[in-house]
Structure 1
Amino acid sequence: MNIKTILSKPLPVVWYRFVQLVKLKVYFKTKFWQKIEPKVHQKVSKSKKTWNAKSLLFTNDFSATDIPEMLQQQTISEANNIINGTISVFDVTYKFAQPISWNTDWRADYSWKNKYFKGYSFYEKNKAKEFDVKFPWELSRLSFLIPVARAYQLEAKKDQLAYIQEILSDWKTSNPIGFSVNWYPMEVSVRTINLIQLREILLEAIDTDEVVNLLNEILLLHGIFLWRNVEFTDIRGNHYSANLTALLLLGSAFKGFYAEAKTWYNYAVKRMEKEFHLQFIPDGVNFEKSISYHRLVVEFYLISFLVMQRAGLKLEEKTLKVLKNACEFTRDVTKPNQLTPIIGDNDSASVFLNDQVSLNDHTNMLQLASLFFQDEKLNTVNEKYHSAYEVFGTKATENLGVTTQNTFASYYYKEGGFVTVKDAQNYFITDVGEVGMKGRGGHGHNDLYSFELMLDGNDIIVDPGCYTYTGDLALKTKMKSTAYHNGLEVDGEEMAPMIGNWGISNIAQPFDVTAEHTTTKAIISGKHPGYQRLEDAVTHQRTFEIEKNSFKLTCTDVITCESPHKIARNLHFDEKIGLEIKENTIFIKTNNTSSKLTVDDFTTIRIAEYTFSANYGSKTTAKKVILETEIKGTTTVQFTIEEEKQF
C-alpha cells in the first residue's frame, strides 16, 4: 500500500499503516529478515526436546486407522501420485519435477526472481504471456503435503516422510523470509493454516521429530513475518480474517516456546469476535458478496472459534448465532448436485482442500459446521470427510446424521441480499443486494438481479465465473461487468461504473425488494437506480416467478424512461448446453432433457460466445443468448424458461 492510499484512510488506520511502513523500512535496512532466520533455527535446533504442543485444531479422539477402508485407500493413492510429481492446482493436475520452481507460473514459463517482497508489482497490462502469480502462490500454500502425511500415518513408509522433509526443506531454502514472491501476508496466512494441519497430523505419527522441528522453524518464521505485516485497514476483508486465524493458531501452538507468540495469540483473541461481526451481516452472509469467499472466511472463523472454545474461552451467543446463520446460508445456496453457484469472484481458495471434493463443493465445510454445532441439518452428504475425523474425532463423525431437502422451498436472505428457490432437482438463485464490501465492490460483480437456473439436475443459466486476477486484466474486468451476467443492460452501459482493478461504484442500490413464497409459486421482485445517471434517467424493475410444480421461470422487466433506448438481456448458458432458435423460441438441449426459452415478439434474439470459468485459472467457451429490444417510454419485456418432456 503506497503513501497516497494510506492517507486516504481514517486517521487510526493512517497511523497504523504509517508506523508499519516505517518499521518495514527499518527491518529492510538493518537486514532484520536475514538475521532472524538463523536465530530461529538456533532456538529450534538447540531445544532439548522437539516442541510438540498442538494448536487445538485437531482432536485427540482420532486414529488414522479408524477411518473407512475406502477413504484410507483413496488417501494412499493420492499420496503416491503426489510423491510421483502429480499435484492438483485449482482442480487441474500438473506434473512437477523436483526440485520444484516455487516462483514460476509453469503454464506460461514465467518466473519471478527472488527479491524483497515489497518490490513486486503484479498488475501488468498487455502481457506477452498470460502469467499469473496466483499459480505459484497456490502451489506454495503446500496443502498437497497433507495427503502424504495422512498416508504416512497409515503406512509409516520412509519415502513418504522423506518427501515431506524434502519439499519443506527446499521451499524454505528457495524462499528466504521476506525475499521471494511467496511472502505476502495472505499467502503466509493460508500456508500457515495448512502447515498447522500438516504438523498436527505428523505429531500423531511415529519418528517425525526431525520434520516437526523443520515445521516449527518454518511456522515461527511465518509468525514473525505475519505479525509485522498484518493487513489492517479501514474496511477489512478475508485477508485480515486469514491473518487473525493464522496468528491464533501459531500463538496457540507456540506461546509456551517462543515469547512473541503470546502477543500473536492475544492480538488474535482480542479482535476475533469483533472482526467477525464486521465482516458478516447478521443473517449470515459475508459482506464481500462472493459465494466462494464466503466459504473461505467461514472456514477461518470456524477454525478460530473452535480453537478458542477448546482453550476455554467463551464466545458470545450472538457470535455463534451469526456463524450458524453463515453455515445455513451455504447450505441454502447449495444446488441439488451439491455444488454452489459461482457468484462474485472465485479464486477457488479453501483451507480444507484435501477432502477429495471439487472446489465448488462446500459440503465438507458444512459437515464440519454440523459437528461444531451438533446439528445434523447442516450436513447434506452421507460421505464422511477426512477433515471431519481429524477435527472432531472418530466417535462424533461416525454418529453424524444427514439431512436432505426434497420439497419446494425458498430462502430469502434479506440483509445479505440473496434469494434461493429449490427442490430436489431444480434450483434458482438471484442477487438482490448491494455490490459488496460496504459499497466498495471488492470481490462482488455487477450482477444485481442476475440469476442462475437449474432444471431437472442440469445447469441451464449460469454465472460465467472469474477466470483470473492478474493474468488478463481486461478479461478480469469484462467478467465482472453487467454484460457478463444474466441481468439487463441499457445502451451498453454498466449498471454501475467500474473503479480501478477491484472497485465498483455503489450507485445500483436495490430498493423495493420483495420475496414472496406461496403454495404454488415463488415471486421475487426489485428495482435499482443504476441507470438513472444517464442523460435520460432509466429505472429498472425485475420480477421473477417460479412455479412450484413445473419450476417454470418467468422473468419480467419493466423499464421506465422517456427517450429511446436499446436494452439487452444477457443469458449465459452452461457449457454443455445446445441451443437452437426457432422464431421467438430457443430450444435448450442437454444430454437427457429439453427446455425452451420463449421471448416477446418485439425482441431480437442472437447467440454469441462467452468465456466460462468453473474454477480459477480454467476457461472454456460457451454460448450466451442476447435479447435485444428497442424501447421508448415505460416498456415491459418478458421471457420464460421451462422444461419440455424428455427425449
Structure 2
Amino acid sequence: MSSLAWKINRIKAMSPAELLFRVGRVVQGKVEKQRLSAGWRPKPKGSVGSRGGLFQGESEQIVSQWRAAYAGQLAGYEPLLDGDVDIFGHLKVNLLDGFNWHRDPESGIVAPLLYGKGIDYRDNHQVGNCKTLWEVARHPHLVPLAVAYAVTGDERYVRLVTSQIDSWIAQNPFGLGVHWCSTLEVALRLVAWALVHSLFCLRDEQGLFSRVSDSEALGNAIYQHAHFIRHYLSRHSSANNHLIGELTGLWLGCRVFDLGAEGEVWAALAKRELEAEAVKQVFEDGVNKEQANYYHLWVMEYLYLNWLVGERYAEPFSDTFRERIIGMQRFISALRPPGGVVPQIGDSDDGVVARFEPADSPDPYREVCSAIQAVLEDGCEAQYLSQKVFWYSLIAGRSAQIDAGPEADDQPAGQLFPKGGYAVLRGGGAHLIFDAGPLGYPSIAAHGHADALSFCMALDGQWWLVDPGTYCYHTQPDWRDYFRSTAAHNALEVNGHDQSLIGGAFLWLQRSKQQIGELQQSADGEQQSISGSVSGYADPQIRHHREITLDARQRKLRVTDRIEGGAAALRLLFQFHPNVRLYPGELKHHFYAEIEGEPHRLEICADEALQWEVRHGEENPHLGWYSERLGQKVPIDVLVGTLQAASGCTINCEFSW
C-alpha cells in the first residue's frame, strides 16, 4: 500500500474533532522544528534530582533476601558484560565499541538525524525496521545490569550501564532522530532509567546522578523525556495502549525524579488520565478492549506498575483502578489451560515493560499475574516467585505473599466474559477459548485480527488448534495482512473476503459486527455450549452464526456454522499447532491429528457436503503459517473445506479425542 493510500485511509478513520487536532499537531511540529533549528531545547528551571528510589526497605536486607532466593541466577548476569543484547529471540546486537543508536541492527540502514516528528518511521528505506531499532533504544537490557550491580557491587555493571546512557544522550539531542519520533518509545526509555536509578540507589542514594559522566546532562535528558511525553500524548484514535504506556512513563519519571513544580503538575495529570484510561480501555469483566492478549499483558503490567508507584509515594489510586487490574489478571489466567500457556490472540510484539532477570521470561503472562497475585490477591505459588514478583513487591513496601500449596486448577468448567466477548469451556481434558469480541480499540482497532467466532483448543495443556500469531509489523506488508486475515484463523471466510476491511498495517476500515450469546451448561458442567454471530465480509446482508458445544464426558467438540443473507462461496479453516500432524482418514471427510509423544489422537469428522483438503505452508497465496515470535514463522497444517452454499446452509464438524 502506498503512503498516499495509507494517509487517505487513515483520514477516513478520523472524526472531525480528530482532524482539527491533527492539524494542530502539524502546526505544533512546524513551530518546534523552527525553534530547534534556532538552538532551543527544553530545560528544567532547577537541577533535576532524585525523589528516592522505588524499592522500599533496608538495602542490606533487600540484597540478602535476593541472594537467598536467586543466588543461582548470578552466573547468568556475567555474560551481559560482553555487551550482547538479544532482540525478539532471533537477532543479537553488540552495544560495545561505539554503538550507533541510529543504525537498524537488522538491515544496517542508518536513520537520519532530522526532526524526529518529521521522520516517516514506516519507511523501511529511510529507517530500516523501526521495531528492532526502537527495541534496543528502550533500554530494557540496562535493568538486569543494574540488578547485577545492586546485588554484587561489581563496578563493571555500572560502567556498562552508564556508558550506554551517556552515549545515547550524546547521539540523540532533543527532538532529533528516530528516537524522538514515537512518544511511547520515549516513555519506555524513561521507565527503564527510573528502574535503573532505583536499583543504583540501593548502593548510593544519588543513584544514576553520581555515576554518569555528566549529571547535568542526565538531568536535562530526563526532563526532556518528560516534557516530550507531556506535549505529545497519543490522542483520539491513537489513544490505545500507547497512551497508557506514555502516561506510565510520565508518572514514573515525575515520581522517581524531582522535576520541580512542572513535574508535580505533570504527575497529577498522568495520574488523573491513568484513572480514566483504566476504565475506558478495560471492560468491567477484565478484558482489554484491544482484543489482543499480548497488549492485554502490556496494559495489565502498566496499570499494576502505576498502582505500585502510587503506593510507594503515598499517592494511591482508586479502588476502581485496583479492581480493573485484578479483573485483567483473572481474565488472562482463565485463558491458560492447566499446565499450559496463554494462547496468542490478536497482535503480539514481544516487548516488555520491565525485565529484571538476565534472559527473557519463558512465560511473561505467568510472571506478571504472579506479581499481581503476590500483592493484591491471596499470594503466588512458590515456583513462580520470579524476580519481577520480588522487585515489584518491594515497590509496594511488602514482601511477596506465597501460596505454599500445589498449583490448583480452581477455575469453573465454563466461564463467560460477556463485555469482552470471550468464553472458556473446560472438561474432558480439553480447554477451549471462543472469541466473539469486538474487532479492537479504538476506531482503528490497530492490534485486532479478523478472527470473530474463532476458537483455540488445548488438550491436557498442549495447544492443538491455534491462533496464528503476528510475525511482523512494519515490514513485509503482505505477511502483515495475512496473519491478521480471517483465513489465518479457525474461522469462516465468505466470498474470499475478510470479516473486516484492512486499511493499513495498523488500521481497519469497514469493521465487522459481532455478538456473543449466553453460556449454556448442564447441571454437572459436563456439557457446555456457547454461540455467537458476525456480520461483515464486505456484504452487510451476510451473517455467520457459530455454536460450539463441548461434551466432556464423551470427549467431543461439535462446531456448527450457519450462513444467512444470501448464497455465498465459503471457506472453512482449522489451523493446527506446528507440533501437530494432520492425516487423511478412511473417508474423504475424516481426518485425524497426532503429536509425536503425546497420548491423544484427535479425530475429525468434517461435514461431508464440503470439499476438504490439508494444506501446509503455502506462499502464493499465503496459507498455513504460525508465528510464535516476531520475525519467526513456521509452516503448519491447516484443514480447509470449501462450499458454494445457499442461504441458510448449516455446516457441522466434530472433533473427538
Match of 1:613? 627
- Flag the 1:407–1:145 CA change in 2: closer, same or farther, 3 A: closer
Q: Distance in 1 between matches of 2:502 and 2:648?
A: 27
Deviation at 1:391, TM superposition (A): 2.1
Letter in 1 for 2:543: T
Match of 1:195? 193
Please identify, of 614-623 and 286-295, the stretch whose mean Cα deviation from structure 2 is larger.
614-623
Secondary structure of 2:571's match? Answer: strand
Match of 2:539? 533
Please identify, of 442-451 and 400-409, the stretch whose mean Cα deviation from structure 2 is larger.
400-409
Q: CA RMSD in A?
A: 3.0
1:287-309 Cα offsets, whole Å, 9 max, x none, are: 11111101101111112222224
1:453-492 Cα offsets, whole Å, 9 max, x none, are: 1112322111111111111112111211111111011121
1:7-50 Cα offsets, whole Å, 9 max, x none, are: 9856765565554443332222122795437x56x965xx8xxx
Q: Equivalences for 1:237-256 in 2 at 5 Å?
A: 237-255=240-258
Match of 1:210? 210
Match of 2:167? 170
Secondary structure of 2:519's match? Answer: strand
1:29 aligned residue (25, 30, 34): 34
Match of 1:570? 573
1:217-241 Cα offsets, whole Å, 9 max, x none, are: 4322211222222222256211111
Please identify, of 244-253 and 357-366, the stretch whose mean Cα deviation from structure 2 is larger.
357-366
Q: Distance in 2 between matches of 1:7 and 1:457?
A: 43
1:219 aligns with 2:222: yes
1:548-577 Cα offsets, whole Å, 9 max, x none, are: 2464322111223553x3211111111122
Q: Equivalences for 1:124-523 in 2 at 5 Å?
A: 124=123, 131-183=128-180, 184-206=182-204, 209-211=209-211, 213=215, 216-233=219-236, 236-255=239-258, 257-355=259-357, 356=359, 358=361, 361-376=364-379, 379=380, 382-393=383-394, 396-397=399-400, 399-400=402-403, 404-405=408-409, 409-422=413-426, 426-438=430-442, 440-505=444-509, 507-511=511-515, 513-518=517-522, 519-523=525-529
Secondary structure of 1:510's match? Answer: strand
Secondary structure of 1:634's match? Answer: coil
Q: Distance in 1 between matches of 2:635 and 2:491?
A: 20
Match of 1:600? 607
Please identify, of 391-400 and 333-342, the stretch whose mean Cα deviation from structure 2 is larger.
391-400
Q: Distance in 1 between matches of 2:165 and 2:519?
A: 52
Asked if the contact 1:78/1:147 (under 8 Å) is kept, the reply is no
1:83 aligned residue (81, 84, 96): 81
Task: Quote the sequence identity (%).
Answer: 20
Asked if the contact 1:27/1:33 (under 8 Å) is kept, the reply is no
- Flag the 1:200–1:8 CA change in 2: closer, same or farther, 3 A: same
Match of 1:524? 530
Q: Distance in 2 between matches of 1:176 and 1:139?
A: 18
Letter in 2 for 1:223: A
Letter in 1 for 2:422: F
- Flag the 1:97–1:508 CA change in 2: closer, same or farther, 3 A: closer
**Alignment length, in residue pairs?**
626
Deviation at 1:507, TM superposition (A): 4.6
Letter in 2 for 1:300: Y
Asked if the contact 1:418/1:432 (under 8 Å) is kept, the reply is yes
Q: Distance in 2 between matches of 1:54 and 1:478?
A: 48
Match of 2:3? none
Q: Distance in 2 between matches of 1:343 and 1:221?
A: 36
1:59 aligned residue (56, 61, 66): 56
Secondary structure of 1:571's match? Answer: strand
- Flag the 1:240–1:3 CA change in 2: closer, same or farther, 3 A: farther
Q: Distance in 2 between matches of 1:154 and 1:92?
A: 30
Match of 2:94? 96
Asked if the contact 1:235/1:437 (under 8 Å) is kept, the reply is no
Asked if the contact 1:453/1:459 (under 8 Å) is kept, the reply is yes
Q: Distance in 2 between matches of 1:309 and 1:269?
A: 12
- Flag the 1:87–1:69 CA change in 2: closer, same or farther, 3 A: farther
Secondary structure of 2:79's match? Answer: helix
Please identify, of 141-150 and 622-631, the stretch whose mean Cα deviation from structure 2 is larger.
622-631
- Flag the 1:80–1:601 CA change in 2: closer, same or farther, 3 A: same
Secondary structure of 1:194's match? Answer: helix
- Flag the 1:398–1:301 CA change in 2: closer, same or farther, 3 A: closer
- Flag the 1:10–1:484 CA change in 2: closer, same or farther, 3 A: closer
- Flag the 1:216–1:330 CA change in 2: closer, same or farther, 3 A: farther
Letter in 2 for 1:618: Q
Letter in 1 for 2:639: V
Letter in 2 for 1:603: L
Q: Distance in 1 between matches of 2:38 and 2:435?
A: 46
Deviation at 1:277, TM superposition (A): 0.9
Secondary structure of 1:595's match? Answer: strand
Q: Distance in 2 between matches of 1:333 and 1:215?
A: 43
2:656 aligned residue (637, 642, 646): 642
1:118 aligns with 2:117: yes
Secondary structure of 2:518's match? Answer: strand
- Flag the 1:141–1:29 CA change in 2: closer, same or farther, 3 A: same
1:232-287 Cα offsets, whole Å, 9 max, x none, are: 225621111111111111111234x4332122112112222112111111111111
Unaligned runs of 5+ in 2: 1-5, 618-623
Secondary structure of 1:396's match? Answer: coil
Secondary structure of 1:78's match? Answer: helix
Letter in 1 for 2:223: L
Secondary structure of 2:517's match? Answer: strand
Q: Distance in 2 between matches of 1:490 and 1:13?
A: 34
Asked if the contact 1:511/1:528 (under 8 Å) is kept, the reply is yes
Please identify, of 608-617 and 183-192, the stretch whose mean Cα deviation from structure 2 is larger.
608-617
Give the TM-score of the pair, scaled to structure 1.
0.89
Deviation at 1:446, TM superposition (A): 0.4
1:339-397 Cα offsets, whole Å, 9 max, x none, are: 21111111122213335554653111112211331333xx4662211122222139622
1:413-457 Cα offsets, whole Å, 9 max, x none, are: 100111122369532112111111155422111000111111123
Letter in 2 for 1:372: V
Asked if the contact 1:55/1:250 (under 8 Å) is kept, the reply is no
Asked if the contact 1:348/1:359 (under 8 Å) is kept, the reply is no
Secondary structure of 2:200's match? Answer: helix
Task: Give the 4+ runs in structure 1 shifted more than 6 A.
Answer: 1-8, 127-130
- Flag the 1:381–1:22 CA change in 2: closer, same or farther, 3 A: farther
Secondary structure of 2:101's match? Answer: coil
